[in-house]
Amino acid sequence: MATALPAMPPSRVRRAYAVEAKYECLRMLRAPAFAGPFLLLPAGLFVLFGALLFGSAIAKDPKAAAFMFMGFSIMGVMGPGMFGFGITVATEREHGLLQLKRALPVPPAASLLAKMLMSMLFVAIVMATMAAVAPLGHVPLSALPMLYFSLVCVAGSAPFCAMGFLIGALASAKSAPAFVNLLYLPMIYLSGILFPLPKSAEWIAYLSPAYHLDRIALTVLGAARYDGLLLHIAVLAGVTVVCTALAVRRLSRHG
Amino acid sequence: MENANIAELDAVSKRFGNVMALDEFSLAVRPGELLALLGPNGAGKTTAISLLLGLQLPDRGSARLFGLPPQSIEARRGIGVMLQEAALAPELRVYEQIDLVASYYPDPLPVARVLELTGTAPLARRPYGKLSGGQKRQVQFAMALAGRPRLLFLDEPTVGLDMQSRETVWDMLRRLIADGCSIVLTTHYLEEAEALADRVAVIAKGKLVVEGTVDEMRALVVRKRITCHTRLAIAEVAAWPDVQTVTNGQHGLLITASNTENVVRRLLAADEDLHGLEVQSAGLAEAFTELTQEVH
């Protein structure tokens, strides 16, 4: 017979989710080695290329300005999820924190949702910095399209979180950064978001979630055809679900 | 019949590759007791705790926590846990770590109260990553108490603590037991088990060797030890009845005997110059060594 245990009121369950998310965000914001590069790099690179190096050329070509702005924005979307999840999950797994959390009555998915929220918060900050520097690069987006674009980017960070989660579930703490880079850097270059790919290599971009997020953003802004939207959303949703399921399966079996 | 055990392992077996970590192992934790789990390295203590915490599933047998499967979150809301190796987020401050763990429980202690009870209040605002090894163990202990657990799992809780901090932990454990909390403790410090445990379970090679009170453990090892400086030869003493072993030690002749009184009388009669006579009962350490050696 079960010994009577106090029940957890729903308000306390909600609080547990909120507290988990609060401290996950706080700890990452307090890690300057993590927060600094991810928060400032996309805007910094955009200012360097879009304003300082090629500013005068881009000023005459609004399409090129928007292309570059979207490319660096999506690069900013990928980082917090892939590195944030990949490295912290691998470290927590290897150093016993994940095991402790499995022993404690942590509400189901609280850690996962907290990390996802942390990534989305970082992406929101990245988008705010990108919006702040957009006028320097002659980006032809007014406030409302910029808001839509930012919301797409925040929501679009989910598949990158899931990919990072899977790497974190598989790799050791030492090898996780290398594995994330192995995926992150080729994905940036081969998705065509920063540099247009040659016609013969365009098919490679279809394999990259970054390409599909870029297409969704372009569609939302009216710069691409609507008919491919559902396919792009399905690809990103599929990557999110499959990677998360594989990571959860791996962690529940091996810790 | 109502099951009065707070937690139990019933004939569990667990194998990792070729290693049988636990073999038909049973253990029960009763309400309000401190059960010390002792055993040499690799004996199966950690596996037993992992099964009770639901971190692993047994290959055979069953594990129950408050009558429920240990994986159920309801069961885990009744426990506090201090594992041996858990690197917490170094960026969070001590009070934040405790607040985070407390948030998982229905009716936790206020963070300030936990800090006060465990002597960690001076550390409250310090980032966890800046603490010494001993201070980290103190904070982990504080976190284990935060949820007002009815069953506390402590894996080597006082490793790396100074004497004062160890005393604080011991005092706290005695208070928890007095308040009706049950505790499962694994420790390498046998004096810790001797000082705190109501019951001791000794594991070796995945099997339960023996369980009982500390006194019962000592009684299992009936031998006592006699040391003295004497001119008598080892072979002569070894031939006497009741004498089990005789060796030359640092402090003279070292004799183990089942009936020390008879041996001491005979020693004094045989050697008028005998001096430095000492008779010692077997402690938990001797009992532990002997009991676990018998399994090898």
Q: Using a CB-CB distance cutoff of 8 angstroms, which residues of chain B are in contact with residue A96?
A: 83, 85-87
- Contacts A106 to B, Cβ<8 Å: 104
B-chain CB neighbours of A5 within 8 Å are 66, 74-75, 77-78, 150
Beta bridge partners of B182: B151
Query: In degrees, to the nearest 5, what angle opens at C-alpha A83 toward C-alphas A79 and A85?
Result: 120
Among candidates B3, B67, B77 on the partner chain, residue whose Cβ is nearest the Cβ of A105: B77
Mean pLDDT of chain A: 87
State the pLDDT confidence band at B33, using cuts at 50, 70 and 90.
very high
The pLDDT value given to residue A192: 84
The alpha carbon of residue B62 is apart from the nearest alpha carbon of chain A, in Å, by 14
CA neighbours closer than 13 Å in the CB half-sphere of residue A67: 13
**Which tens digits make up the pLDDT trace of B212-222?**
887 777 666 65
Closest CA to A81 of A173, A204, A194, A167: A167
* Beta bridge partner(s), residue B211: B201
Residue A23 with chain B: CB contacts under 8 Å = 89, 92, 96, 99-100
- Rounded Cα distance between B173 and B149, Å, is 12
What pLDDT is stored for residue B1 in this prediction? 41
pLDDT tens digits for B179-199?
999 999 988 777 788 888 999
pLDDT digit string (tens) for A60-92? 887 888 888 888 999 999 988 898 888 889 998
In the predicted model, is pLDDT for residue A205 greater than 80? yes
Q: Which residues of A91-100 are buried (b: 16+ CB within 10 A; e: fewer)?
A: bbbbebbbbb
Is residue B93's pLDDT more than 90? yes
Instruction: Judge whether A15 is closer than 8 Å to chain B, CB to CB.
Output: yes
Question: Which of B100, B151, B154 best tests the A interface by mutation, with the highest count of A CBs <10 A?
Answer: B100
Q: How does the average pLDDT of chain B come out, rounded? A: 87
Residue numbers in A near B96 (CB within 8 A): 23, 26
Instruction: Quote the pLDDT of residue B2.
Output: 46
- For A32, name the nearest residue in chain B, comparing CA atoms only: B91
Residue B294 confidence class, pLDDT cut points 50, 70, 90: low
Q: What is the pLDDT of residues B50-84, one digit of tens each?
A: 999 998 899 999 999 999 999 999 999 999 999 88
Smallest Cα distance from B45 to chain A, Å:
16
B38 exposed, middle or buried (CB, 10 Å; 0-12, 13-18, 19+)? buried
Distance from CA of B104 to the nearest CA of A (A): 5
What is the chain A residue with the closest CA to B88? A97
Cross-strand partners of B153: B81, B184
* Long-range contacts of residues A6-15, Cβ cutoff 8 Å, at least 24 apart: A6/B77, A6/B106, A6/B107, A7/B74, A7/B106, A8/A105, A8/B77, A8/B105, A8/B106, A9/B106, A12/B103, A12/B106, A13/A107, A15/B103
Give the span between the Cα atoms of A28 and A23, in whole angstroms: 8
Mean pLDDT of B10-16: 92
Does B292 score more than 70 pLDDT?
no
Q: What three-state secondary structure class fits A213?
A: helix
Tell me the pairing of strands B199-204 and B34-38.
parallel
The C-alpha atoms of residue A254 and residue B287 are separated, in whole angstroms, by 37
